[in-house]
Amino acid sequence: MKHFSVSQKVLLLFFVSIIFSILFSFLFIHFLYKELYIRSVKERLIFEGKQTAAHFHYGSLSEDIKEKIEWYNLISPYEVIAVDQLDELHQHFPYQIDYKHLISQEDEKKLSSGQYVVKEGYVHELDRKIVGAIFPLTHEQNLIGFIYIYIPLAEIPEVFSKGIPILILFGLIFFVLIYFVITYSIHSIFRSLRTIQTIAKEISRGNFSKRVPIQTSDDIGELASAFNKMTESLEKQDERKKEFLSNVAHELRTPLTYIGGYTQILLDEAYSSKEEAKNHLLLINKETTRMQKLINDLLQLNELENKDMTLEAEPIAFSQLIFDSLELFAPALKKRNISIKTDLDDEIIIMGDMNRLHQVFCNVIDNAIKYSFENGMINIALYQKEKRAVVIVRDNGIGIPKKELDRIGERFYRTDKSRSRETGGTGLGLSIVKQIVALHNGTMKIESEEGQGTSVILSFPIVE
């Protein structure tokens, strides 16, 4: 089965419309011919016949009357025949109407009772239709003769001889104009659609650099604009996907390199003492643990991004949750001589998943410690603002450049471009935090100034 393009379908619709318009015009002209022209002719003929018949009330059809009828035939468009008997009518009008005799028995009965009879149909000898009527002539209720008045009907071209050429001329001009308007519109509309189609094929091949030029502000322009936004979104997603795969490959390749190298040393027994061999095993164990954490974080992030993810919500004393999280970092704080200052509202209760929220604060506090200077301070505040609990964790560490702030929370994104292994981590911590906060109908905001420190601001709905 042949498939037509949209432009071909529009043109096909145009030509079908023309055909239907011509057909409608033809039927309409026939309607005018039949309903207006023939009916008006018939009404005038009957009126003229009645008027003529009303003049003959002298008792008989004299030669003088017949001469007047002949004169009337000359000046009127009608043919009038006056006879004494119906049989004589055939001599003056020796034709059949629709291949039937002019007068039937039923017609004779009507005429005998004083009624007129209308005769309409095709006459082969005249090669056209006629409309006629036979009127009885009476004198003092006595039948004295008959008048047959008829007129040949003009054909449709004759009736509309002036109108049809004008109609055809204006019709052709109209259709030509419509054709050019539609052709231009099709070209204008489908040029953008063809461009979109071409660029869509490029996108399917992985090329997201193309854009549709927006030339109008109509629906097509809006479609092109939406298509460009979609392409930009796909381009960003593609870039992030490539970056994600690159990051995963890098994060796995580095520990695997360490593991492979130290394993080969152990296999070759290229060590000088058992202590050195033990250190190599410790490094292998450290890198193995790091890979396990990376994989666990990826699996956890994937689970959190699942739309079917559900939380085990329960009332939580928010300040106690924060204190419990801080206890885990006592050794790290002591090692780097970092102080903690808290200002927590003990009355605040929220609904949430205890384990997930504990994970949030462990990640946030861990980052604050890692990126703080030694002998620094971390401030943690908890307060109520309207119907939400707000937590601010602020450090006075290295801070984050402003241009990097919008990307904080993306998978594997870290501001230390050299991917220094000193701070550890997988680059997924804040991505996990962001997802958990969102699942609790919360918000996360990060404010930072390079060299001055960073503030992580979290808010959650409270239990009223």
> Which residue carries 């007047």 as its tokens?
68
What integer pLDDT is reported at residue 420 of this predicted model?
45
Residue type for 308, please? Answer: D
The enclosing H or E element of 364 equals helix 354-370
Where are the domains positioned within the chain?
Answer: 6-159, 310-461
User: Taking the model in full, what pTM does it have?
Assistant: 0.47
> Which residue carries 């539609």 as its tokens?
182
Of 389, 376, 364, whose CA–CA distance to 340 is shortest? 376
Ordered DSSP codes for 405-436: GGGTTSTT--S-TT--SSS---S-HHHHHHHH
What integer pLDDT is reported at residue 424 of this predicted model?
55
What integer pLDDT is reported at residue 320 of this predicted model?
93
What integer pLDDT is reported at residue 2 of this predicted model?
54
Residue spans of alpha helices (H) in 218-353: 219-267, 274-304, 318-327, 330-335
What integer pLDDT is reported at residue 419 of this predicted model?
41
Instruction: Give the architecture (CATH level 2) of 6-159.
Output: 2-Layer Sandwich (3.30)
Determine what percent of the chain falls in helix, strand and coil, rounding each to the nearest 5. Answer: 55, 20, 25
What integer pLDDT is reported at residue 221 of this predicted model?
77
Chain Cα centroid distance, residue 115: 70
Walk along the chain (464 residues) in steps of 10 and give the mean pLDDT of each run: 58 71 67 68 82 66 66 74 82 84 85 86 84 83 82 64 64 75 69 78 80 75 83 80 71 77 84 84 82 74 69 89 89 89 91 88 88 90 92 89 74 56 63 86 89 90 84
What residues contact residue 398 under an 8 Å CB cut-off, 6+ apart? 371, 373, 450, 451
How many Å apart are CA 321 and CA 13, to the nearest integer? Answer: 71
- Classified by CATH at the fold level, domain 310-461 comes out as Heat Shock Protein 90 (3.30.565)
What integer pLDDT is reported at residue 379 of this predicted model?
93
Q: Is 61 helix (H, G, I), strand (E, B) or coil?
A: coil
